[in-house]
Structure 1
Amino acid sequence: MNSQIATTKRIIRFQNGSEYRRFLRHLSEAASSAARLKAIKPLPFIRGISCRLPPDARLLESCSGRIWMEQDCKISVSPSGQRGLALENGIPWGIQQIRAPQAWGITTGHRVKVGVIDTGVDFNHPDLHHSLLRGINLLNRSKMPYDDNGHGTHIAGTIAAANQMHGMIGVAPRALIAPVKAFDHNGSAFVSDIILGIEWCVRNGMNVINMSFGMKTRSKALLGAVTNAYNSGVIIVASSGNDGKLRSVDYPARYPQTISVGATNRHRRVAPFSNRGTYIDIYAPGDKITSAWLRGKYNEMSGTSMATSHVSGAIALLLSLRPGLSPGEIKSIMKRSMQPLKNSKARRNIGELDVIRMLQAAERK
């Protein structure tokens, strides 16, 4: 093994469970004598670890079973244009466009749990006060998942803000957000932290996981975590990316076990920055979206991240009425009930989220 591999952060996965446990035992024994092995991160959800390997990597040679190794890549919250602003009125345009308010007479997403793997959340924001669970800070387990970036607070606001009298209201105002802080103040995270976040969401009974981030490279370790969550009945909603590409979608949105989301504008057209094409499952408002921000403020942001939070909120509305639906059934209902986009050349199988049509389609299921 060359020194380049030795100094790179890696994810190692094991085909065999007993081999994985034996390797962890060996590793912990070696860690007591090797400073380089102190930063070992077990990833039990995928039978793996993240660590920087020592130069000789003799521990791996002792494994008789099959192992896979990949780089523990950096992943970013989808970059978005933004500007600070005052709130105009209680219901942002995107929430009106998907017809969420018309559904609040029958569902508000009551007690549906949405795990938001992101930069954390502003726990002191008046519009989020009634919508937050404790969550977890994967970067520092002794601290609450406070947001030091803003992106996670913006996402949480669109999903479940609930302060119509003085602030804004989200798609599912009685849903519960569990902030899972995997991203630092720069909006950057390692794949291994995302995997830990997915595992936390599954173990703590989240119904939906919002993933408003993406990367260009495929990670089999991340696919393993997404697949395990899907098989556990957890719906994962992921942003397609902001490259304006026709046939390209970021990971994890490209995985078929997720609901991949593109962005539209006020005119029901695909936003110029949004990725598009066959990999997109559904579009939702993502252009110039106003939502909660740090220090109790508001911000306007554009991106497929914002579109993703509209879809997560809509799924919370649906699950409150139909709690038994599987991830596959929810995806099918959403794709059957889309509002056609305003573009005569568009294929018939692409469209925008429409909450009322979605709930009607679920009735007919």
Structure 2
Amino acid sequence: MTTSKRIAAGILAIGLGLTLASCDRTDERMERLSEIGDGVMRQLGGEDVGGPGNQARMENVPVEARAFQGEMQEASPVRVATAPSKFVVGSIVAKPRSMPEPDTVAEAFEGPSIADYDAYVESFESDAVIVVPTDEEIAELQSPSRTMSSDEPSRLDRAMKSRRTITIDPKSREQMAQGLPREVLKDTRTRMEYRMESPQVQIPERTDDSPIIQPAPPAASPIPIPQKSAERRLVMRQDAIGAQVSAESQMIETAQRYGLAANIQRSRSGQMVIEVGSRAMKPTKYGGPDDNVTPWIAEDDEAITCPSGMTPEEISEDAVLATVCVIQDLKASGEFEYVEKDWLYQNQFVRRPKNSGPVTNVAVTPNDPLWSLQWNFMNQGSGDGEIEGGSGFVDFWTKQASQGSPEVVVAIVDTGLEMDHPDIKDSPNVAPGWDMVTDIAMANDGNSRDSDPNDPGDQCPEEFVFEDTFHGTHVAGTVGASVSNNENGVAGGAWNVKIVPVRALGKCGGRLSDINDAIRWAGGLIPEYDELGNEIWNDNPADIINLSIGLFRFCPASMQDAINAVTERGVVVVAAAGNDSVSTQFYAPGGCDNVLSVAAGDARGQIAPYSNYGAEVDVLAPGGDLQRDDNGDGRPDGILSTKHASNCTDPVTNEAITDCYYAYEQGTSMAAPHVSAALALIKSKRPDLTGTALADVLLTALNPRSQEQCSGPCDQYPGAEPVSEGSETCKLPCGAGLLNLSDVNLDE
């Protein structure tokens, strides 16, 4: 669409938005249209952006508290997903078929009886790593000159931290205690072992010859265990570890068949990750042009199957083919519920080319200087301080007299958080998080998994990311990680809730296996480990988990398994629908079961041109459109939030600023955190609500969309259904309606 056509379309939209109930009020309509036109011209000239007093508010703060990145973009063809998915070469995610169902929360409250303790395993057993080295690595391990000094940990040791690591001789047939028919070459246990101790029973000292009366075992503690803490008592049973041991044997035999080294990561969640080939002994090796190791990622090709005419030795020379063959063989064994590639996920920004309580009469709004540019939180309507595509947060803050509660926790599984951001540093809203990125070079911070979820940047020209996105910071800022109402920068949707950053995406994306662990850790279901081997649990298990990530593929079984595990505990999972203008059923996690799938809307309350759509979408929320200015403020209708950016603008002087801390972005990544923030606000007022009950309250607060508001040109949406036979306009189902907190009903 040309610039002149966009301007004409904008004026037409303004005119339509001013249509009054009575058709004979022409003079009033024309007068109002003239007022708006004058306002637009003032705003385009940099005058009084956002209403009376706002210019003075901006002028009274330092430039770093108001400068932002973002300008109108030229229209470009809608990008439709056609590129194949990518996966991590040599990494496979699997789950044994015979894994027993985990204990229920009710059983966790009671805990195992004394007689049952032998049925459970110690934690360092459940999270062990089984390593199958090559002949050269065996020789190195057995060399008397080689020391295993803890001061010089191996790459594998650094990757796995202090989990128990068992290195075995694949040629041995000696039976291990765990059941693996291999000789142990090295067994590194956690430095601090966690044992399940039976309650101590005190026997009174005898003073005579009376018979000894053994007291009965003590009853379960009458002190109730908080439900979130009770999850930690869902320890692994012996029969579950037995299923994993059997699966490990199958994995080892399969790797041996192709002469491949392997490491197998065992988790109490039931998920197992096997890495084969060059990655097995160097699981944090990134690969690249200066490396003799096969590139670490590859594009998926469904046509590649394991050939019958090649020898195992020939297959092992091709890392991609070896990965396919190992997966095929493991599936054929019948041992596994699922076996799949370790898919590579991306954030859901719309990528740009390089260089490119009591009801009051006064609305509650924050004093942050850029608040007037955050149309996405405003009430829906066409009056002053309203916009058709808003989400009604102002009404909720005002009518419910609440901007959130620190008892409510939202976990952001994303690229991490800029901890030194001036609007986030020392924020009382940010709780301790975790870095789940396994690959050191993908992590881009010099180490593997650890307790630091800071985002060091994620430039990746191979994936068209030419500058650091700080994606997780933008998403978290929309929810409420930044300090709102502090006369600095922007406001979040839920000012006072607790944000737990869980870093699972780094340079060039994030591994499926890491994301699955991040979901479970965020929900309080599994621990991570510090350098000393201590179990580190999420002390703030999430009520809501935000997944502004995407993979152009049907929902992987292992991801669905992780989502099910947390939703069964009452967590609401919010997922971006995806940005490729296709049906959300082809996307994960937006197309997974048991998620609230969020499509993106523009400032008019219509589906954005890049947004995915379909029956899987639950709700439409503001995602922005940087090619439009439908609110007439002279700025693009993106979502303004926190992130470090370059090539910025001072809204007071309109001068160029080299660096700033706020930016406009667009995408279903931006839409999802609006829903997460809305859920957090609702739970702040109704802490009794969890899971589907909490989601149902939000789904009653939607403004239905017409077919016209959720449709688009058929030539831009291949596969979409025309609104009528022969029509060039296609249906783009965008959920039950547009998020509208003004209509939320919190009655019992």
- 2:507 corresponds in structure 1 to 185
- Measured after TM superposition, the shift of residue 37 of structure 1 is 3.3
In structure 2, the partner of 1:289 is 639
**Structure that is richer in strand per residue:** 1
CA contact (8 A) 1:123 1:132 kept: no
Out of 98, 102, 105, which is 2:391 matched to?
98
Unaligned runs of 5+ in 1: none
C-alpha displacement at 1:321, in angstroms?
1.1
Provide the C-alpha distance between the structure 2 equivalents of 1:180 and 1:157, rounded to a whole number of angstroms: 14
Match of 1:212 in 2: 548
Partner of 1:68: 338
Structure 2 counterpart of 1:244, from 577, 581, 588: 581
| SS of residue matched to 1:293 | strand
CA shift for structure 1 position 329:
1.8
Distance between the aligned counterparts of 2:504 and 2:88, measured in 1?
24
What is the CA deviation profile of residues 312-337 of structure 1, one whole-angstrom value per residue up to 9, with x for unaligned ones? Answer: 00000011111222321233222222
Partners of 1:354 and 1:345 in 2: how far apart? 16
Shift in Å at residue 43 of structure 1? Answer: 3.8
- 1:346-365 equivalence runs, <5 A: 350-358=736-744, 360=745, 362-363=746-747
Q: What amino acid does structure 1 have at the position aligned with 2:375?
A: W
Could you tell which deviates more after superposition, 242-251 or 102-111?
242-251
Q: Give 2:449's match in structure 1, choosing from 141, 159, 169.
A: 141
| Matched ranges for 1:96-135 at <5 A | 96=378, 97-105=390-398, 106-111=401-406, 112-128=408-424, 129-135=427-433
SS of 1:98's equivalent in the other structure is: coil
Query: What code does the residue aligned with 1:312 have?
Result: S
Q: Which moved more, 1:20-29 or 1:312-321?
A: 20-29
Paired position in structure 1 for 2:492: 170
Of the two, which has the highest radius of gyration?
2
Contact 2:576 2:672 in 1 (8 A): yes
Structure 1 residues 29, 64: CA separation in 2 closer, same or farther (over 3 Å shift)? farther
Q: 1:27 aligns with which of 101, 109, 130?
A: 130
Q: Which moved more, 1:157-166 or 1:88-97?
A: 88-97
CA distance in 2, matches of 1:247, 1:24: 34
Change (3 A) 1:75 1:316: same
| Match status 1:44 vs 2:268 | yes
Residue 25 and residue 351 in structure 1: after superposition, are their counterparts in 2 closer, same or farther (change >3 A)?
closer
AA aligned opposite 1:90: W
* Partner SS, residue 167 of structure 1: coil
Q: 1:271 to 1:351 in 2, by over 3 A?
A: same
The 8 Å contact of residues 614 and 735 in structure 2, kept in 1 or not, is answered as no
2:478 match: 158
Is the CA contact 2:132–2:261 (under 8 Å) kept in the aligned structure 1? no
Equivalence map 1:202-281=2 (5 Å)? 202-203=523-524, 204=538, 205-218=541-554, 219-246=556-583, 248=585, 250-281=587-618
* Distance (whole Å) between structure 2 residues aligned to residue 41 and residue 155 of structure 1: 31
Separation (CA, whole Å) in 2 of partners of 1:310 and 1:26: 39
Give the whole-Å Cα distance in 1 for the aligned partners of 2:692 and 2:520.
Answer: 20
Q: Which residue of 2 aligns with 1:311?
A: 675
In the alignment, is the contact (CA less than 8 A) between 1:82 and 1:299 conserved in 2?
A: no
**2:338 and 2:557 in contact (8 A); partners too:** no
Question: Alignment partner of 1:291: what SS?
Answer: strand
State the secondary structure of the residue aligned to 1:274.
coil
Identify the structure with bigger relative contact order (alpha carbons < 8 Å, sequence gap 6+).
1
TM-score between both structures, scaled by the size of structure 1: 0.85
Could you tell me how far apart the structure 1 residues matched to 2:566 and 2:597 are?
16
* Equivalent residue letter for 2:522: C
State the alpha-carbon separation in 1 of the partners of residues 352 and 706 from structure 2.
Answer: 25
Contact 2:590/2:598 (<8 A) preserved: yes
Q: Which residue of 2 aligns with 1:335?
A: 699
Moved more, 47-56 or 257-266: 47-56
Which letter does structure 1 place at the counterpart of 2:671? A
SS at match of 2:611: coil
Question: How far apart, CA to CA, are the structure 2 residues paired with 1:228 and 1:247?
Answer: 22
Give the whole-Å Cα distance in 2 for the aligned partners of 1:143 and 1:228: 23
Verify the 8 A CA contact 2:573 2:595 in the aligned structure 1: yes
Q: Which residue of 1 aligns with 2:90?
A: 8
Letter in 2 for 1:171: G
Q: 8 Å contact 1:119–1:150 — kept in the other structure?
A: yes
1:29 Cα deviation from its structure 2 partner: 7.8
Q: SS where residue 588 of structure 2 aligns?
A: coil
| Uncovered stretches (5+) of structure 2, i.e. residues with no partner | 1-86, 103-120, 134-165, 170-259, 278-315, 317-324, 356-367, 379-389, 438-447, 458-468, 525-537, 625-637, 646-659, 711-732
Instruction: Assess, with a 3 A threshold, how the Cα gap between structure 1 residues 7 and 215 changes in structure 2: closer, same or farther.
Output: closer
* Worse-superposed segment, 214-223 or 235-244: 214-223
Q: Deviations over 1:243-263 (max 9, x none)?
A: 122564521121230000000
Letter in 2 for 1:138: M
Give the conservation status (yes or no) of the 8 Å contact 1:115–1:179.
yes
- Does the Cα contact within 8 Å between 2:504 and 2:510 map onto a contact in 1? yes
Distance in 1 (alpha carbons) for counterparts of 2:128 and 2:644: 43
How far the C-alpha of 1:116 sits from its partner, in A, is: 0.4
Cα distance change on mapping 1:274 and 1:26 into 2, 3 Å: closer
Q: Secondary structure at the match of 1:256?
A: coil
User: Structure 1 residues 42 and 356 mapped into 2: Cα distance closer, same or farther (>3 Å)?
Assistant: farther
- Change in Cα spacing, 1:333 to 1:297, as seen in structure 2 (3 Å) is same
Whether the aligned pair in 2 keeps the contact of 1:240 and 1:249 (CA below 8 Å) is no
Rounded Cα–Cα distance in structure 2 between residues aligned with 1:73 and 1:10: 9
Partner SS, residue 552 of structure 2: coil
Alignment check: 8 A CA contact 1:43 1:192 kept: no
Give, in whole Å, the separation in 2 of the partners of 1:356 and 1:196: 36
Q: Which residue does the alignment assign to 1:324?
A: 688
- Structure 1 residues 216 and 17, CA gap change in structure 2 (3 angstroms): same
Taking the aligned partners of 1:320 and 1:170, their CA distance within structure 2 comes to 15
